[in-house]
């Protein structure tokens, strides 16, 4: 069979590389056969044309042809099945799951890449404790100690640093206040501006007998004045007044309520109020060199009836005492 086409014959090339594998050679052969078949179909080239210089290079065979007679086929090559895991199920060898959303994360992650939850259980670094802060009192104490050390060092240098030198420490003693001893200062005389006739004169006020009293001359005692004198100047610190001890007679007489006191050495008046009681009553006063003291009755507690006994119209005082010391010349 000859080609009827006017086109020049097409030369078929087959490249065989000795170093290629059998699979590569078979692929090349298949491609050449397919190209030849296409050319023959279109009437471009005749498969039986003897003018093909490469015809003798190929040995005709069929792809499905078995081995030559008497030759055993080679044993089948074991095929290794490769299973490709999906990206959803494939996990790296050192992967950990998130305890919150179960997503896979590298073991080096501290937080989940999917939900952001913490997946590392290792303890967080702990900050060192803050340094102790010194209070103002502590700082002052430190400064004081520093000053003491400096003074000690300087004293050692000034004193020659003699270890045998002794230091004498004098214990500081606080001044002790001695209790003031009050003595009874007996007046030289006592005079009243008003006296009840009989044995009720002002001298009964300084005789030391509380069963005898001074009574005024029936004027309820308001405005009555008692004058006490001393031969030598005295410093008076306290006055003690005693009313009648007998309860019935105490109530039936008027008693001193408000009073005023003046002395001859200080231009200062002392005033106050006594209680309506027959207990001892004290008046504090401070004089320096007194030779005369006056006590004036400004008001009185009213006399009372006791049973069928009517009240008296006089004021009555049993005793008046003065305490202090003799004035210093």
Q: Which residue has the higher pLDDT, 59 or 69?
A: 69
Domain with 297, as residue range(s), is: 183-326
Residue 245 inside a domain? The answer is: yes
Write the CATH number for 318.
2.60.120.260
Residue 59 inside a domain? The answer is: yes
Q: How many domains would you assign to the chain?
A: 2
Residue 115 inside a domain? The answer is: no
Residue 303 tokens read as 């006399």
Residue 112 inside a domain? The answer is: no
Residue 268 pLDDT:
87
Question: DSSP 3-state assignment of 250?
Answer: helix
Predicted structure pTM score? 0.47
Residue 304 inside a domain? The answer is: yes
Q: How confident is the model at residue 247 (pLDDT cuts 50, 70, 90)?
A: very high
Residue 114's nearest CA partner among 88, 137, 136 is 88
Q: Which of 12, 29, 64 is a domain's end point? A: 64
- CA separation (Å) from 323 to 136, 182, 273? 53, 6, 19
Q: Which of 64, 89, 114 is a domain's end point? A: 64
Q: Which of 94-98, 110-114, 117-121 has the lowest mean pLDDT?
A: 117-121
How far is C-alpha 202 from the geometric centre of its chain's CA atoms? 72
Residue 208's nearest CA partner among 234, 190, 229, 227 is 190
**Cα 195 to Cα 314: distance, rounded to the nearest angstrom:** 9
pLDDT in tens, 39-62: 666 555 555 555 555 555 555 555
Q: Which of 29, 48, 64 is a domain's end point? A: 64
pLDDT in tens, 142-173: 888 888 888 887 877 665 545 444 444 444 44
Residue 82 inside a domain? The answer is: no
Residue 98 inside a domain? The answer is: no
Residue 16 inside a domain? The answer is: yes
């Amino acid at each position: 069979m000859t080609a009827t086409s006017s086109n020049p014959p097409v030369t078929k090339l087959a490249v065989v590389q000795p170093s290629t594998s059998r699979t590569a050679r078979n692929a090349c052969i298949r491609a050449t056969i397919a190209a030849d078949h296409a050319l023959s179909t279109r009437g471009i080239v005749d498969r039986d044309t003897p003018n093909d210089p490469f015809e003798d290079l190929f040995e005709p065979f069929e792809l499905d042809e078995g081995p030559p007679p008497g030759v055993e086929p080679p044993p089948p090559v074991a095929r290794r099945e490769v299973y490709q895991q999906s990206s959803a199920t494939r996990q790296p060898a050192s992967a950990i799951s998130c305890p919150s959303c179960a997503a896979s994360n590298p073991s080096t992650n501290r937080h989940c890449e999917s939900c952001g939850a913490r997946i590392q259980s290792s303890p967080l670094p702990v900050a060192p404790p803050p340094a102790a802060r010194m209070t103002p009192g502590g700082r002052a104490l430190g400064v004081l100690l520093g000053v003491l050390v400096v003074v000690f060092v300087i004293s050692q240098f000034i004193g020659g640093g003699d270890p045998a030198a002794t230091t004498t420490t004098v214990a500081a003693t606080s001044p002790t206040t001695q209790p003031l001893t009050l003595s009874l200062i007996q007046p030289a005389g006592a005079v009243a501006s008003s006296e009840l006739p009989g044995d009720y004169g002002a001298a009964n006020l300084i005789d030391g007998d509380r069963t005898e009293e001074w009574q005024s001359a029936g004027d309820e005692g308001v405005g009555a004045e008692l004058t006490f004198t001393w031969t030598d100047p005295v410093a008076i610190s306290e006055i003690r007044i005693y009313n009648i001890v007998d309860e019935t007679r105490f109530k039936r007489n008027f008693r001193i309520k408000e009073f005023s006191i003046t002395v001859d050495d200080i231009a200062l008046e002392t005033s106050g109020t006594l209680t309506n009681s027959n207990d001892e009553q004290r008046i504090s006063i401070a004089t320096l060199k007194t030779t005369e003291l006056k006590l004036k009755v400004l008001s009185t507690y009213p006399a009372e009836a006791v049973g069928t006994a009517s009240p008296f119209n006089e004021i009555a005082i049993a005793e008046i005492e003065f305490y202090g010391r003799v004035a210093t010349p």
